[in-house]
Structure 1
Amino acid sequence: MPAENYEKIEFLSEGAVLRGRLYRPAGTTGDVPVIVMAHGFSVLAAWLDDWATDFAQAGFAVLLFDHRNFGDSDGEPRYGFDNLLQIRGYRDAINFLETQHGIDQQKIAVWGESATSLVVQFIGVFDDRVRAVVAFTPVCGNTNTVFDTSNEKFDWLIENWSDLDLSTVPARQLAVRMCRLHEGEGPVVVEGGAAVSYVTWMRKKYPSDWSNQVFILQRKLEAQFNEPRLPAKHLKVPTLFVIATDDQVPACELSTNRQCFESIKAPKQLLEITGGHFGLAYRGTEPYRQTLSASIAFLRGTFSEK
């Protein structure tokens, strides 16, 4: 799809301007389903252009944006990772879509990869405008993760996710590095050569202001919006999990991801692939093709029932 088939967009979220792209499928009339997408832990929206392009070619509109503090979006501190503000960013992206022509407001899917897979699970529970959730290489925890049997924490999250005044709860900054490059300071989040190769490849493909330095913003709350064990069992909309059986990220441990998937009570599909945590970044590979086909089929099937 040529570049002119998307338009640059921006919308306001919690006092910051978030920026991205709105892709529209060519040659369509009437309202079309839409996929809301944002990038994973420390990467950039532009790195997902292949996915957005391919989804648009399959007949979906796509709103792809940079999380607050990253890429083209505003916000401070730069490269500050905040789960709650990212959840609110998806909320406000959907608000923006309500102002756009040609979008079927009854057919909104949210898509997230890696850390953002957790964000889309939360917004899939919190926001009843969401009709489908797609989670690539989800972050569900590891063998030490204990899944809650009580709903007490989640009830607090539901009550406070949208309206809690964050100015009353200042965030502490934890400096980390995304991968083992010499840039930045702090512990490395994702060890191994696959992460370095992925970042090196994407920086060449999409020159940008990507940073290996990330600041995890931590607030002292009664419950946390980054607890992977919490949202899945509360999902009520059709959900697709794409799990890498050889995922290198400790928080994406295979048996825990499977347990997380099994906890979903809504209609659900599971696709297990090989290629590691970053395998889906490489267009034209078998994991990419397999996952693209499954994602399109899942979304078409889900929306055909609406």
Structure 2
Amino acid sequence: MSEERVRVRFGDGCVAWHYPGTNGGCVIMTGGFAVTKEPGTDVFARRFHAAGFSVLAFDYRHLGESAGEPRQVARVSEQLADWQAAIEYAGTLPEVDPGEIAIWAFSLSGGYIFPLAARNPQLAAAIAQTPNADGPAAARNAARHQKPSAMLRFTGRALLDALGSLVGRPPRLVPLVAEPGTVALLTTPDSQQTNEALNPGNKYPDWLQLVAARSALRVTFYRPGRYASKVKVPLLVVVADQDQSALAAPSIAAARRAPRAELVRVPGGHYAPFLDQHEPVVEAELDFLRKHVLSQPAAVSRLRLQA
């Protein structure tokens, strides 16, 4: 894969894979909550790139190859700022037409697609795949799949972590996924497929599947789906009907509020688009990208390449 992508840097220490494309369009991508760029984007990035699109797949600050201390801390405001920097950087890539840029993400990052698309009307398209559109609703549902004692221990650890951060103490890390009864970010049934979907055969051994407990506090109250009515760009929302980690209903409601949204529903849990529903989902996303990102000839891109 090294021959088709190169490592680049932008913004506040963000590191990304840049796959130079041929059709003038570009898809900016990143992983879900504390999921680094390789397990979070590789299988979709390959398909988009094979179809001619440039791809910019990045790590948020504090995660993966990107800079930022302390490590494994996820802050909504910083991650949205990293997205903004990625959008601006993608427009400077020599083979990319700045008018043919799309954004793609899933899970928590998929929820970010709503405010990002609302704030960036110059985007050609946006794809929110199994997004967490309503943090409180997802948190309530997740609580049904966790033991009360473990929930209390997690809350205590998150609060102590947040207080410790005020005096510079190292993060108190918790697993991204574990069995119910374990202090972890997620213990929902479909979250147990995380490695099967994103890291089969430990393909990405460098992916540290831990996150600072403090990171969950803001996410629990974050409701990005409320921005859906302000999204004026073409928006594709992909939901899995049995999703227990980022519920389908709030995302369907958000899609209905967005003026130019298209909705794709598939059976299965949170990771269905990475597993048995991968082909129909990636084909639907490619059709959407071709329709909206490549709706105008990539004249700017060709002129740049000839210059």
- The two structures share one fold, judged by TM-score above 0.5: yes
Residue 279 of structure 2 corresponds to residue 254 of structure 1:
no
Runs of 4+ in 1 over 6 A off after TM superposition: 170-174, 218-221
Mapping of 1:1-306 within 5 angstroms?
2-13=1-12, 17-25=13-21, 28=22, 32-47=24-39, 48-141=41-134, 176-180=174-178, 186-192=183-189, 194-199=190-195, 202=199, 204-215=201-212, 217=214, 226-249=222-245, 252-265=246-259, 267-282=260-275, 285=276, 287-306=277-296
1:27-73 Cα shifts (integer Å, max 9, x gaps)? x3xx6100000100121111121110110011110000111111111
* Structure 1 length-normalised TM: 0.77
Structure holding more strand per residue = 1
Structure holding more helix per residue = 2
Question: Matched residues in 1 for 2:216 and 2:263: separation?
Answer: 33
1:303 CA drift (Å): 2.4
Question: Matched residues in 1 for 2:15 and 2:112: separation?
Answer: 18
1:200 CA drift (Å): 5.6
Question: Matched residues in 1 for 2:179 and 2:215: separation?
Answer: 24
Question: Matched residues in 1 for 2:102 and 2:221: separation?
Answer: 20
1:146-193 Cα shifts (integer Å, max 9, x gaps)? xxxxxxxxxxxxxxxxxxxxxxxx7997854311169xx84432423x
Structure 1: give runs of 5+ residues left out of the alignment: 146-169
Aligned equivalent of 1:166:
none
Question: Matched residues in 1 for 2:95 and 2:137: separation?
Answer: 46
Aligned length: 264
Aligned equivalent of 1:156:
none
Question: Matched residues in 1 for 2:204 and 2:283: separation?
Answer: 28
Quick check: 1:20–1:64 contact (8 Å CA) kept in 2? yes
1:128 CA drift (Å): 3.4
Percentage of pairs with the same residue? 23
* Structure 2 length-normalised TM: 0.76
RMSD (Å) for aligned C-alpha atoms: 3.0
Quick check: 1:171–1:217 contact (8 Å CA) kept in 2? no
* Relative contact order higher in (CA < 8 Å, ≥ 6 apart): 2
1:142 CA drift (Å): 7.5
Structure 2: give runs of 5+ residues left out of the alignment: 139-165, 297-307
1:118 CA drift (Å): 1.4
